């Protein structure tokens, strides 16, 4: 949960979301 909050507050969150989509979506 803490890590998620850190990602939300991180300026590069959109980039991380894109990476997660590529990893999860294959």
What is the three-class DSSP state of 12? coil
- Residue 7 and residue 13 in contact, taking contact as beta carbons nearer than 8 Å: yes
Q: What is the pLDDT of residue 22?
A: 92
Provide the pLDDT for residue 16: 82
pLDDT, one tens digit per residue, over 1-26 is 787 777 677 787 788 888 889 999 87
Which pLDDT does position 23 carry in this prediction? Answer: 92
């Amino acid at each position: 949960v803490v890590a998620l909050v850190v990602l939300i507050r991180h300026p590069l969150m959109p980039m991380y979301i894109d990476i997660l989509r590529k990893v999860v979506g294959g």
